[in-house]
Amino acid sequence: MSRFNWLAEYLARLEEQRVSVRSGDAACLSPAHCLFLDAEDWGKAARVAAESGFRWAGIWGDPVAEGIVIRAALVQGGDYLVLVTEVPLKNPLIASHTPPFPAANRMERHLQDLLGIGFLDHPDDRRWTRHQAWPEGRYPLRTDFPVAGESQRRTPADSDYPFVQVLGSGVYEIPVGPVHAGIIEPGHFRFQAVGEEVLQLEAHLGYVHKGIEKIAVGRDPVGLARLAGRVSGDTTVAHTWAACMAMERAAGVVVPARGLVIRAVLAERERIANHLGDIGAICNDVGFAFAQLQFSRLREQWLRDNQSVFGHRLLMDCIVPGGVGCDLGDQHKAALQSSFGVLSRELDDLLPILDDHSSLEDRLVSTGTFCATDAKRLGVLGYLGKASGQDYDVRRDHGYAPYDELEVASPCRDEGDVAARLQIRADEIRDSLQLLDRLLQRLPTGPVGLPWPDLSKPQRPAVGLGVVEGWRGEIISYVRFDAHGRVARFFPRDPSWFSWPALEQLIRDNIVPDFPVCNKSINGSYSGQDL
């Protein structure tokens, strides 16, 4: 704990007051540090952490016996600290982390809806995830709640959500969604505006709540990996990797070097495919259809190469517990390396056109500006955070294999507008192409995976934490196995938990017609947040 000596006397006192959590749990969450707290010190620890410059990165609950173990992840300088406490199931009350860490707002409300945890001093007690799908006083993540639910009737419309209103002369309201004109997932956006100027935006999500955390219970490792890959379909590689990393740390499995390098190849290909699509879509939202056509063409070719080499356009189920399910032969390796040069040359032709297009500059520069202060306050990372001065990349700063042996470039800008977010994507594509070339050049020999061990009689608590850099930013997954080697708890934290509140901030004082391009420049995942 030498890196976390921010209040030595306080920690020494807490050592005598810690709650009863299974012995050895801290070691199982390695390389994260664990700090066991009495429930009464939960809020104070958050205030101290905020004053000490920690970033808040997630919270999840784990029902065990007659209580609920609560864990919250904090980060400083690439090191992860997990606060752990326990509250009784009959009266699960605890201090809220939202006052010192606004990023905790919706995730705490998610726990309120699914586990019945009450958060004292929370500024917003409106339900977030429930959406009328289960009655008051019933909580789906508790062990007595059936997977299929308790009601066979159609869920009533969630039409009475109490949106915050802005009152004043000339203020009017624009409801958008949850059903949209395109094929995107459902989400409701409530605008308060004067003329064309947006005064306030409030998002209401949760319409694609799938019960991911509930249906994970009882699965074997392979089944959990497949489920993790479907938390958010455009992030199947990163979510599967994070879940497998958590399971492998819980089981003490060390993935072979060749398997790790192929995982990184898959992750960088996923990053490039999504960034190519986003650059074209951002340009299309301001009427520059040429870019949409060209970048969609490049993305399509990239996805076809995925299909040819790895067997799936989106790379689903390529990562498995213990390694990867596919190898790279010399022929495929050479074909991939050749494609890197083709894409790089195409970008040499296309990106200068975007830079020199004056009408594109008029629509993107200074639009949807997200300042560094708000980005830090909301814990935003990935391309959104990097465009607003948040210089953090899990691959570089937390250093998991194989990135810990590579020099990982991570672009960062401070303009914070749509143009900066587009530029970060372009820079990341370039950097990922270089990373891919280096990864394939150093592809080691040997197996790509290991058989999964028998966890029916674990010798130590089988819990693990996985942290990876997805294309949207930091992904955290927590896994706990039961005594039979089956999943007892799974929590995947997508970056979109933080990017959706950021959209509400950065759209203020912009005009209503600029919402589509601002929204696309964020490109939060509905599914990744609506667990």
Its sign, for the CA torsion 456, 30, 378, 394, is: negative
Distance CA 340, CA 430 (A): 10
Mean pLDDT of 439-467: 86
Residue 465 or 154, more confident: 465
Answer whether the bond into residue 31 is a cis peptide, omega within 30°. yes
Beta bridge partners of residue 88, listed in sequence order: 67
Radius of gyration of the chain (CA): 23
Q: 357-400 pLDDT, tens per residue?
A: 999 999 999 999 999 999 999 999 999 999 999 999 999 999 89
Burial category of 374 from C-beta neighbours within 10 Å (exposed 0-12, middle 13-18, buried 19 and up): middle
Mean pLDDT of 414-419: 96
Question: What does residue 100 show for φ and ψ, rounded to 5 degrees?
Answer: -85, -25
List all residues 6 or more positions away from 236 whose beta carbon is below 8 Å from its beta carbon. Answer: 229, 230, 270, 314, 315, 316, 317
Helix axes 418-441, 330-356, angle to 10 degrees: 160
Cβ–Cβ contacts within 10 Å for residue 171, how many?
Answer: 14
> How many residues can be counted in the chain?
531
* DSSP classification of residue 168: S
Do the bridges between strand 93-95 and strand 118-120 make them parallel or antiparallel, or are there none, so unpaired? Answer: parallel
Q: What is the pLDDT of residue 19?
A: 36
Distance CA 306, CA 289 (A): 26
Distance CA 72, CA 42 (A): 10
Domains located in the chain, CATH noted: 2-120 (3.30.460.80), 212-529 (1.10.645.10)
Q: What is the pLDDT of residue 21?
A: 36
Q: Is the pLDDT of residue 460 over 90?
A: no
Residue type present at position 395: R
Q: What is the pLDDT of residue 349?
A: 96
Burial category of 110 from C-beta neighbours within 10 Å (exposed 0-12, middle 13-18, buried 19 and up): buried
How would you write 319-384 as a 3-class SS string? EECCEECCCCCHHHHHHHHHHHHHHHHHHHHHHHHHHHCHHHHHHHCCCCCCCHHHHHHCCCCHHH
Its sign, for the CA torsion 379, 380, 386, 387, is: negative
Mean pLDDT of 432-449: 95
Do the bridges between strand 67-76 and strand 55-64 make them parallel or antiparallel, or are there none, so unpaired? Answer: antiparallel
Beta bridge partners of residue 56, listed in sequence order: 74
Q: Is the pLDDT of residue 13 over 60?
A: no
Mean pLDDT of the chain: 91
Mean pLDDT of 155-163: 84
315 contacts 266 by C-beta, under 8 angstroms: yes
Beta bridge partners of residue 79, listed in sequence order: 76
User: Among the listed ranges 97-106, 160-169, 221-230, 347-356, which one has the minimum average pLDDT value?
Assistant: 160-169
Burial call 452-467: b when 16+ CB within 10 Å, e when fewer = beebeebeebbbbbbb
Q: What is the pLDDT of residue 458?
A: 59
Q: What is the pLDDT of residue 100?
A: 96
Q: How confident is the model at residue 180 (pLDDT cuts 50, 70, 90)?
A: confident
Cβ–Cβ contacts within 10 Å for residue 309, how many?
Answer: 21
Q: What is the pLDDT of residue 133?
A: 85
Q: CA-based angle 133:137:143, to the nearest 5?
A: 85
Q: 231-254 pLDDT, tens per residue?
A: 999 999 999 999 999 999 999 999
Q: How confident is the model at residue 208 (pLDDT cuts 50, 70, 90)?
A: confident
Mean pLDDT of 125-148: 88
* DSSP classification of residue 388: T
Q: Is the pLDDT of residue 490 over 50?
A: yes
364 contacts 416 by C-beta, under 8 angstroms: no
Mean pLDDT of 191-212: 94
Residue type present at position 516: P
Q: What is the pLDDT of residue 7?
A: 45
Mean pLDDT of 255-282: 97
Distance CA 434, CA 223 (A): 33
